Amino acid sequence: MLLTISTTHFPADDLSYLLHKHPGKIQSVDISAGKAHIFYPEVSNKRCTAALLLDIDPVGLVRSVGPKGNDFALEQYVNDRPYVSSSFMSAAIAKAYSSALNGKCKDKPELVDVAMPFTIKLSVLPVKGGEAILKLLFEPLGYGINAVQHPLDPAFPEWGNSRYFTVELSNTITLQQLLSHLYVLIPVCDNDKHYWVNHEEVEKLLAKGKDWLETHPARELIVRRYLKNQRSLANEALGVLLSKDEVEEASPQETAIEVAGDIEEPQLRIHELRLNAAKEELLLAGAKRVADLGCGEGKLIKLLLAEKQFEFILGMDVSYRSLEIAKERLKLDRMSEKQIQRIQLIQGSLTYRDKRLEGFDGVALVEVIEHLDESRLAALERSVFEFAKPGVLVITTPNAEYNVLFADYQQGKMRHNDHRFEWTRKEFEAWSNDLALKYNYNVIFKPVGDVDPEVGALSQMAVFSRQDKVEEQFV
Ligand code: SAH
């Protein structure tokens, strides 16, 4: 795999001073599983390109298996590691360009703080979650992105796309910023690491993320992926990035980010479908006062605000941090007085009776129930069906049967770390039918997403209508 860094800064060959690598020589450094070679395909004062080429030894890779070992027995023989940019590339950046990464330049120290126009190209970058994740990670840092996704096999286009991209990024920043972004975000795209992640990685992440990670909107996703989804380490890092008491609340928030990012691309689209399906049901029911319970970052609220029919919209979540993000995303601070009157965000838990949830025509719980322990569901049922009693109630949840169609399917593995359960269609329907009977609702079920004849759709939705409301319509 190859990383090229080009600049048109004048004089462009300043790049060689910054990288501490002579433009006329090919140099090599050792990394744990092979070598990294540094050379310059082009050098002039107008344009200069430095290339970092990794030469990974597949046998060395097998020998350097970490303490966790491989889950997949054949992985030692069949894996993409020698051919893609991954955490090996970060290790190579740290070794080959260490002084630049640490913001040092012996011969021309004044260059360290100069923002230069850079274009970088990564020949093969695996991106879990596809182009949407690339945008989520790089756009907030000011990068222009040009990504080409490669098909699984050009001879069989019907197999669809692989997770491999050729990526070109451009930005005008300092070289140290550029290298620190790449150091952290390459393994975050890949979502895998060649070594066992421990406490030291938290330090590395915080050091490399200094000055930009704290304010990055996808910081929870970055931290979790970088630390290989180890919650305790991720919380440790977030504890430094955020203030301490926010961290307790950041855990449920992580799930909201997961919904947005830590999944393959088709599911990103499916989330849009779910949100739209919930909105459509609320519209169809003629609801005017609506509530989004477990609103997360306010994605549904944003859609609801665009519909004049909804006169008042309440968003509730247990996570204060999510609500802050929602407030930011919805630009509540900059809303007109009239719009502000239409919306309220409150912190609360669905497992407690809450008078603020009473008197709504329509309520949505989009991908929320599976985040509660099954033992706490009874409390949610009472607070929603017995006390809040909305006219119409839309609930969506994953359809567990569909999981067999995921490329990385493992029996019993749920879609996200924070899911406490995932139900089959039968289980969800049985639960919903019982509730409808007990609390006098009619219920219908709808699939969300394309329906597979065997296992159904990715997500499932129940639409409950309170019987007295339905009867009122016919009187
Ligand atoms: N509905 C949003 C977010 C789904 S993620 C969307 O579709 O984008 C699940 C959300 O449920 C998280 O924001 C989490 O904080 C929230 N949540 C989990 N338990 C909750 C509880 N007991 N009460 C209220 N919200 C809860």
- Which has more confidence, 471 or 278? 278
What's the pLDDT at 262?
A: 40
Using omega within 30 degrees of 0 as the cis cutoff, is the peptide bond preceding 41 cis?
A: no
Q: Is 371 in the pocket of ligand 1 (CB under 6 A)?
A: yes
Contact 165, 149 (CB under 8 A): yes
* Ligand 1: nearest atom to the Cα of 256: 5
Cα distance between residue 217 and residue 219, in whole Å: 6
Q: Is 322 in the pocket of ligand 1 (CB under 6 A)?
A: yes
Average pLDDT of every residue of the chain: 85
Q: Residue ranges per domain, the chain?
A: 2-196, 252-472
Q: Is 321 in the pocket of ligand 1 (CB under 6 A)?
A: no
- Rounded to a whole number of angstroms, the distance between the first and last alpha carbons of the chain is 71
- Centroid of ligand 1 to alpha carbon of 415 (angstroms): 15
Inform me whether the pLDDT recorded for 286 exceeds 90. Answer: yes
Contact 180, 102 (CB under 8 A): no
Count of CB atoms situated within 10 Å of the CB of 10: 12
What's the pLDDT at 21?
A: 93
What's the pLDDT at 245?
A: 36
pLDDT digits over 346-401, tens only?
Answer: 988 898 889 999 999 999 999 999 999 888 899 999 999 999 999 999 999 999 99
Residue of 272, 317, 356 to mutate, ligand 1, most atoms within 8 A of C-beta: 317
Tracing tokens 């290790």 back to the chain, one arrives at 91
pTM above 0.75, yes or no: no
Find, among 402, 467, 395, 398, the residue nearest to 432 by Cα.
Answer: 395
Cα distance between residue 280 and residue 463, in whole Å: 11
Percent of the chain, pLDDT > 70?
84
pLDDT digits over 323-335, tens only?
Answer: 989 999 999 988 8
Inform me whether the pLDDT recorded for 244 exceeds 60. Answer: no
- What does DSSP say about strands 362-366 and 392-398: parallel, antiparallel, or unpaired? parallel
**E-state strands within 283-425:** 289-293, 312-317, 343-347, 362-366, 392-398
2-196, what's its fold?
Answer: c-terminal autoproteolytic domain of nucleoporin nup98 (3.30.1610)
Inform me whether the pLDDT recorded for 72 exceeds 50. Answer: no
Inform me whether the pLDDT recorded for 194 exceeds 80. Answer: no
pLDDT digits over 105-133, tens only?
Answer: 999 999 999 999 999 999 889 888 888 88
Residues in a beta bridge with 473: none
Helix (H, G, I), strand (E, B) or coil at 318: coil
What's the pLDDT at 453?
A: 87
- Centroid of ligand 1 to alpha carbon of 300 (angstroms): 12
Helix (H, G, I), strand (E, B) or coil at 116: strand
The domain defined by 252-472 carries CATH number 1.10.10.10: no
pLDDT digits over 337-349, tens only?
Answer: 888 999 999 988 8
